[in-house]
Structure 1
């Protein structure tokens, strides 16, 4: 099951942190590393800090956007230490590990770590089903990237061992992937603009709130197709569809 857990590092500025994160992953049996627009990679500093986990660096997938990194994932969790205007479901590491392994029974799961200084943007968090926050000392909550990866990797391995390496499941109704959900959101937003439900000049928080609604609902692939069929019918009825 651990092979279905993907660690995603977004726009990492220091290559040494990539190597240290790879080392943290390998010690806990994780091997799927994806890098989103790293500042410098490959890099000798990354290899030096990997200290025996160079194979993870060699096999790492490098992409330009978080959307690409999580396209096939059925569940995406982002790390965050900041409160947000619109609240995402918030988990502690142990609960996150339990949920991640449950979701991994249905397909790939992505655990996303943001930039060293600023974390993940709200737009990137829109791609996440939940957030995970490490309950560090509030007076000095200064974990570096590799430490955060180590903590979550440890919790994942501990949970996996405790569950006796559960067999992978083949769900009757597979959940929609992140890519399929993004297609739904784009279709929904376009339809709402065409129906003049959203003012393009003052969109406000409408789409972000709708994203949270569908994230809670967790539609499967068939349900997403039904919803998009409804949107297409609404466009046709209004005379706006292609």
Structure 2
């Protein structure tokens, strides 16, 4: 799907921005870059800013006109930071990501078009786009670097693609004890824990073994529906051990003996 979405940069003057855009694309899984009449490309500055995304630069298509860049496209979205005299269908970045993925999933070709660093896209170029997309930046400082704008829209495409593929949008942080954290405590480990818990509650005077009042049954139900992992079990057992030590220390202070 993502291979049907191309990023089109029109009249880019700074080659470093081309490299930055390539890096942003590769971060988000996009690979097709089309350059319309770039002022300086190929360039070592572009390679340096690409930070490893040189495969995208090497495969970039260079054309003379926007019309050449849009051949075969069924959806064209142009970025615009300014109000235009002629009202035009608008998308926000999130809507742009969803629309791009839906069109690509249906077999269409999509172009995300970005203008010049100093002036953006001309009115004539914008009229070749079915939709305009505006990144709602702070109006007091609204000018975005070209590569940053590519990053924003590429990110929204990525998020829409992940949703369409029913893939997670966040990755759980791995701990050094990740294996213990993913393995559930076994039935025998739970029984050992319940015995330890009962002893600790008696030691601190919270549970009267002569009048238990179903306390342990309720605690079993509580922990039983928690799907305790081995790591969590170890933590709880450590807490109980320290609780018992503290209880014994308090008894000794009062001159009591354990029976």
Residue matched to 1:129: 130
Note the alpha carbon deviations across 1:25-50, whole angstroms, 9 max, x for none: 00000000000000000001000100
Residue matched to 2:77: 77
Conserved? CA contact 1:74–1:106, under 8 Å: no
Residue matched to 1:26: 26
Residue matched to 1:225: none
Specify the SS of the correspondent of 1:34: strand
Structure 2 matches for 1:211-222, cutoff 5 A?
none
Structure 2 matches for 1:184-203, cutoff 5 A?
none
Structure 2 matches for 1:171-210, cutoff 5 A?
none
Note the alpha carbon deviations across 1:39-87, whole angstroms, 9 max, x for none: 0000010001001000000000000000000011001000001111111
Specify the SS of the correspondent of 1:139: helix
Alpha-carbon separation, structure 1, partners of 2:166 and 2:147: 25
Higher RCO structure (Cα 8 Å, ≥6 apart):
1
Specify the SS of the correspondent of 1:41: coil
How far did 1:21 drift?
0.3
Alpha-carbon separation, structure 2, partners of 1:160 and 1:19: 24
Residue matched to 2:9: 9
How far did 1:165 drift?
6.8
Alpha-carbon separation, structure 2, partners of 1:138 and 1:144: 15
Alpha-carbon separation, structure 1, partners of 2:9 and 2:166: 26
Q: Quick check: which has more Rg, 1 or 2?
A: 2
Matched, 1:143 2:144: yes
Matched, 1:45 2:49: no
The runs of 5 or more residues in structure 1 that have no matched partner are 167-242
Residue matched to 2:60: 60
| TM-score w.r.t. length of structure 1 | 0.67
How far did 1:142 drift?
2.1
How far did 1:100 drift?
1.0
* Large movers: runs of 4+ above 6 Å: none
How far did 1:107 drift?
1.4
Residue matched to 1:120: 121
Specify the SS of the correspondent of 2:107: coil
Residue matched to 1:236: none
Residue matched to 1:96: 96
How far did 1:163 drift?
1.1
Alpha-carbon separation, structure 2, partners of 1:67 and 1:84: 21
How far did 1:106 drift?
3.0
Note the alpha carbon deviations across 1:89-123, whole angstroms, 9 max, x for none: 11100011111111112311000000001000111
Residue matched to 1:220: none
Conserved? CA contact 1:75–1:108, under 8 Å: yes
Alpha carbon RMSD of aligned pairs, Å?
1.2
Residue matched to 2:179: none
